[in-house]
A and B are shown apart, each in its own frame.
Chain A
Amino acid sequence: MKGLDDSIALVVASVSHQFAGNMVLRDISFAIKTGTVAALLGPSGCGKTTLLRLIAGLETIQQGKITLFGIDVADAKRGLNMVPESRRVGLVFQDFALFPHLNVRQNILFGVSPDNTARIAWVDEMMRRFGLDHRAKAYPPTLSGGEQQRVALLRALAPAPELVLLDEPFSSLDATRRLDMREDTLALIRESGASAVMVTHDANEAMFMADDILVLNEGRIIQQGPPESIYNEPAAAFIMGLFGHVNRFEGVVDANGMVATAVGLVAAGKGSAPGQRVEVYIRANAFALSATAKKAPQARRGRYEEMPACRVKGEIIARYFMGASYHLHVRPADNHDHVLHVQLPVGSTPKVGEMIELEVDAKGTFVFPVDQE
């Protein structure tokens, strides 16, 4: 089933959705290219799963239109709502939804016609490659979490869907299994040739898995782009919070286009006007120990203008060992109201109570205008 334009796998156009008067999706529009793995990234309750269910046809469309490979499958205006079994979309459920009365192989072949020998052969090959062949006769409750996940994925891929949807596919796995399963899952999806849309609240997972990330918040798409651009050029303050610890400061842009913060003056950047209220975000990992910091004598308190931009002195008040890095709480010498979250590589061995000088990498610094409510 290929439509006019199959270079685009999925088009979601102006889709809004509500449950009992609560808007969960607001005017969502985006497109996913064929052959890519896309991630819907956002906090829980932002409407990701509903969007996935709309694409699969498990929810009736209320507003907008959904097109799969050039064919409209749901269009609120025309009352079109193709039933899920006709959409050729695979779905991996968050709880896997394995049929408890069927064994592993029966589960996987559930959607494959018994006459389709080619597909059955593919399934058997994949079961062997992904270590499920010796579990073929086992029943779901006896499987490990990772095995259940692979069965669910393989079951969704077995009927050769053109698009496979994954709803938080790793959330029920423990952290160590998760890393392996991400790789296995990607490999299987690539092997099947399907395009994929996965839902996750884990930014690292989205960056690892996806070619294309869509950030959702409160039912809206905040940003769409490749992982690098989402990380390096976040379109909104909200996105910063998805990638670990950040420091947030609020200030007013001065005549020189600078904002005064607890770490010094930060350039407000293009598009900001003097007098504007802005928020400044600095990633915890944007800090580095100043080369001279250790030997430098205790500097006297100075005014911000005299300090070099984005260099800050402070006392370490707490230290947490994170394996590859230390997470520090630093109280700036000039600004006792603030506590900076700082992440430093393990090579340095700062101690609690020690005064350090930190440099701030401009690449980890972001300025957003404050929403005027």
Chain B
Amino acid sequence: MSRTGISSLEHTLLRKTRATNRGAHALRLVAFMVAGLILLPLLAVAWKAAAQSDALAHLAATVLPRYVGNTLLLMAGVALGVAMLGTGAAWLVSRYHFPFVGIMSWALALPLAVPGYLAAFVYTDLLEYAGPVQGFLREMFGWQRPTDYWFPEIRSHSGAVLMFTLTLYPYVYLLARTAFQAQSAHLMEAARLLGRGPWRAFFSVALPVAWPAIAAGVALALMETLNDLGVVAFFAVPTLTVGVFDVWLNMNDVTGAVQIALLMLAFVLVLLVLERTARRKRRFDAMGRTGRQLQLTGGKAILALFACLLPVVAGFGIPIIVLLGHASRFWEVSLQQGLLTQLGNSLLVASITALITSALALLMVWAARLDASRAVRAAVRLSGMGYAVPGAVLAIGLLYPLAQVDNWVNRLAEPLQLPAPGLLLSGTVVALIYGYTVRFMALSLGAVESGMARISPNMEDAARTLGLRPARVLRRVHLPLLRSAVLTGALIVFVDVIKELPITMLLRPFNFETLATISFQFASEEMFEEAALHALVIVLVGMLPLILLSRTMQEQGNKQ
């Protein structure tokens, strides 16, 4: 071979090197763009709020203290409730053996399928003055008037805490259960041998080791609490979310609403820091042989079973029985209310969002795999921030940029002598899906990232040394290995979009109703029965990820 031959060969190879780099560059740009689009609503809130900061003083003098006080009180109650219920249940099923413990360890996650607002509707239905419980009591004791007896008011602050605790404790339960199971049984045994009784051993060893997981779960539950609009609006608890909604839509004061939204972001930041710190610490979870569960017998076993059954019945059993009862009587009315159209709308936005978040997550995670630079990693991290941001904040943050784009497009149409297209983004399904994507991107990202983390980097190195270009490596090695992770992520996003209420309420196009908005609307008008079938469909769809969860739990069980 001649020298020129070699140098031309070398040129080809250099070109090849650069081509590969170009691919990585393009991917990196895409990653930055996605992160930018996800962060856009947050930046818009911050920018708008900073531009008109004088509105804050007025708010602070009027409604703000009430909003903040209520929010803090609510969050404190929910934090305490989910931490105790979630940790207690997790400890019981991971440490003890009693009848049906296998079923219970799965069933305890079931309330996750019931959105807080549906639980609120159901319990109001049951416990209000005209409801069956009070009616039964009146009949039994011969009471005539409300003044004859005392009964707790469900549509109250404590009622809201109860609703959130019952539907959100599974966040703590699932994370704490994993942490307890990962804890070496030897830890507890060592503590016992060193003279601690079972309770002291729990509080001095098991609980501190699992604490990061519990804190992460509490942080997630509080993010959901902060996000909620349905429960607090229905129970008339004026929290910050209700504040955004009221100030924006009822007082027509967008500037004020933006100020409140910014304040909510401060809350979010605290929760995010809590969750991130906790998650970092969780990496040091002790891994070791898990010991045998302690056998409970007789009264103790029944007590344990009852303790596990209580949250499942209250958070899932009662709602689903009530919904089934209503749905069986009012299903024809539900169909007349356009159930199929609303179901179609829900399915449409949910599938499109799931598709988008999955594709974007794959792109982002692949970009980070090819280019582990700090910038790309930060872009991935930032594009997963939306899950912590309340829907009301996202909605108001999207309002400005989308309206701006619509303005530009319409102004551009004029000189081009095209008909003005009107609202392309704001007030359309595009805005709605944008909002969902920002909020639920993290779920897809998390699923794909954990799937990717399980693929050893040696896999792609092996494929490269066997002659494959990076794009082909993705197709032949990663995509097949990631398939179930991507599908899991897509399913979770799909389900969460179906359950979602605040973003849908605020960003949906005029007359665009989904299962969630119709349930809320009918409940607000005291006609909840007529939308019971809608609600039932939401809960049933919500159970899909739990079926997946039970399968993974079974697989883990088989491995042990």
A83 with B458, Cβ < 8 A, contacts A110-B463, A111-B467, A155-B466 known: no
Does A91 count as interface, using CB distance less than 8 angstroms?
Answer: yes
Which listed segment binds A: B7-15, B54-62, B359-367, B506-514? B7-15
- For window 412-426 of B, CB contacts with A under 8 Å fall at none
Cβ–Cβ contact A83 & B17, under 8 A: yes
Q: Which residues of A contact B464 (CB under 8 A)?
A: 57-58, 83-85
User: A288 CB to closest chain B CB, in angstroms?
Assistant: 48
Q: Which residue of B lies closest to A53 (CB)?
A: B461
Which listed segment binds B: A95-103, A276-284, A306-314, A329-337? A95-103
Q: Which residues of A contact B16 (CB under 8 A)?
A: 82-83, 86
Q: Which residues of A contact B456 (CB under 8 A)?
A: 95, 97
Does B544 count as interface, using CB distance less than 8 angstroms?
Answer: no
Cβ–Cβ contact A91 & B461, under 8 A: yes
Does A56 count as interface, using CB distance less than 8 angstroms?
Answer: yes
Does A3 count as interface, using CB distance less than 8 angstroms?
Answer: yes
User: A51 CB to closest chain B CB, in angstroms?
Assistant: 15
User: B203 CB to closest chain A CB, in angstroms?
Assistant: 40
Q: Which residues of B contact A4 (CB under 8 A)?
A: 1, 6
Does B200 count as interface, using CB distance less than 8 angstroms?
Answer: no
Cβ–Cβ contact A91 & B467, under 8 A: no
Cβ–Cβ contact B13 & A86, under 8 A: yes
How many angstroms from the CA of A57 to the CA of B469 in the assembled complex? 13
Q: Which residue of A lies closest to B459 (CB)?
A: A97
Cβ–Cβ contact B17 & A81, under 8 A: yes
Does A72 count as interface, using CB distance less than 8 angstroms?
Answer: yes
A97 with B461, Cβ < 8 A, contacts A2-B1, A85-B469 known: yes
Does A93 count as interface, using CB distance less than 8 angstroms?
Answer: yes
User: B162 CB to closest chain A CB, in angstroms?
Assistant: 46
A91 with B465, Cβ < 8 A, contacts A2-B1, A4-B1, A99-B477 known: yes
Does A76 count as interface, using CB distance less than 8 angstroms?
Answer: no
Cβ–Cβ contact B462 & A85, under 8 A: no
Cβ–Cβ contact A110 & B461, under 8 A: no
Q: Which residues of B contact A101 (CB under 8 A)?
A: 480-481
Q: Which residues of B contact A155 (CB under 8 A)?
A: 462, 466
Q: Which residue of A lies closest to B477 (CB)?
A: A99
Q: Which residues of B contact A3 (CB under 8 A)?
A: 1, 6
Does B468 count as interface, using CB distance less than 8 angstroms?
Answer: yes
- For window 447-500 of B, CB contacts with A under 8 Å fall at 456, 458-459, 461-469, 476-477, 480-481
A58 with B465, Cβ < 8 A, contacts A80-B17, A101-B480 known: yes
Q: Which residues of B contact A53 (CB under 8 A)?
A: 461
A82 with B461, Cβ < 8 A, contacts A3-B1, A4-B6, A159-B467 known: no
Does B20 count as interface, using CB distance less than 8 angstroms?
Answer: yes
How many angstroms from the CA of A158 to the CA of B466 in the assembled complex? 9
Cβ–Cβ contact A159 & B466, under 8 A: yes
Q: Which residues of A contact B469 (CB under 8 A)?
A: 83, 85
Does A156 count as interface, using CB distance less than 8 angstroms?
Answer: yes
Does A71 count as interface, using CB distance less than 8 angstroms?
Answer: yes
Cβ–Cβ contact B6 & A110, under 8 A: no
- For window 53-103 of A, CB contacts with B under 8 Å fall at 53, 56-58, 70-73, 80-91, 93, 95, 97, 99-101
A85 with B468, Cβ < 8 A, contacts A2-B1, A3-B1 known: yes
How many angstroms from the CA of A57 to the CA of B17 in the assembled complex? 11
User: A166 CB to closest chain B CB, in angstroms?
Assistant: 12
Q: Which residue of B lies closest to A94 (CB)?
A: B458
Q: Which residues of A contact B20 (CB under 8 A)?
A: 83
Cβ–Cβ contact B6 & A93, under 8 A: no
- For window 1-38 of B, CB contacts with A under 8 Å fall at 1, 6, 9-10, 13-14, 16-17, 20
Q: Which residues of A contact B476 (CB under 8 A)?
A: 110
How many angstroms from the CA of A101 to the CA of B477 in the assembled complex? 8
Q: Which residue of B lies closest to A84 (CB)?
A: B464
Q: Which residues of A contact B6 (CB under 8 A)?
A: 3-4, 70-71
Q: Which residues of B contact A156 (CB under 8 A)?
A: 465-466
Cβ–Cβ contact B13 & A82, under 8 A: yes
User: B456 CB to closest chain A CB, in angstroms?
Assistant: 6
User: B470 CB to closest chain A CB, in angstroms?
Assistant: 8
Query: Which residue of the partner chain, among B9, B458, B465, contacts A95 with CB atoms under 8 Å?
Result: B458
Q: Which residue of A lies closest to B14 (CB)?
A: A80
How many angstroms from the CA of A111 to the CA of B468 in the assembled complex? 7
User: A56 CB to closest chain B CB, in angstroms?
Assistant: 5
Most chain A Cβ neighbours within 10 Å, of B16, B464, B465: B465
Q: Which residues of A contact B9 (CB under 8 A)?
A: 1, 71
How many angstroms from the CA of A282 to the CA of B464 in the assembled complex? 47
Cβ–Cβ contact A56 & B480, under 8 A: no
A85 with B465, Cβ < 8 A, contacts A93-B458, A97-B456 known: yes
Cβ–Cβ contact A100 & B17, under 8 A: no
Q: Which residue of B lies closest to A82 (CB)?
A: B13
How many angstroms from the CA of A41 to the CA of B235 in the assembled complex? 73
- For window 501-525 of B, CB contacts with A under 8 Å fall at none
Q: Which residue of A lies closest to B19 (CB)?
A: A83
Cβ–Cβ contact A97 & B10, under 8 A: no
Q: Mark A148-160, 1 if CB is under 8 A from B, else 0.
A: 0000000110110
Cβ–Cβ contact A93 & B462, under 8 A: yes
Cβ–Cβ contact A84 & B13, under 8 A: no
Query: Which residue of the partner chain, among A70, A72, A97, A158, contacts B458 with CB atoms under 8 Å?
Result: A97
Given contacts A84-B461, A111-B463, 17 further A-B contacts (CB under 8 A): A2-B1, A3-B1, A4-B1, A53-B461, A58-B465, A70-B6, A82-B17, A83-B16, A85-B468, A88-B467, A91-B461, A93-B461, A95-B456, A95-B458, A110-B476, A111-B465, A156-B465
Mark A residues whose CB is within 8 Å of B.
Answer: 1-4, 53, 56-58, 70-73, 80-91, 93, 95, 97, 99-101, 110-111, 155-156, 158-159
